[in-house]
Amino acid sequence: MKYYFIHTISRYNLRVLDYKMPIYHLSKEVDTRELGKTIFLALDNSRIIDINTPEDYF
């Protein structure tokens, strides 16, 4: 399981904020209320299993 903080650029364009890895654009539709926010992403073998706000995890 890998966890990333991402910034929602558009509904299908999510930018990973972790400086140690390249920027990936992930095809996961995001609720329009989350656009422009930094949110939390959980990946399991490159498959998105959860996407939410960091407050739900920390």
* Residue 40, pLDDT score: 62
Sketch the domain layout of the chain as residue ranges.
2-56
- Which residues does residue 42 pair with via DSSP β-bridges, in sequence order? 3, 50
The pLDDT-based confidence of 21 (bands split at 50, 70, 90) is very low
CA distance 8 to 27: 11
CB 22 within 8 A of CB 53: no
Give 8-19 pLDDT, tens digit per residue: 555 445 555 444
Give this prediction's pTM.
0.27
Q: How confident is the model at residue 25, as a pLDDT?
A: 43
Digit-coded pLDDT (tens) for 24-46: 444 454 455 555 555 666 665 55
47 CA to centre of own chain: 12
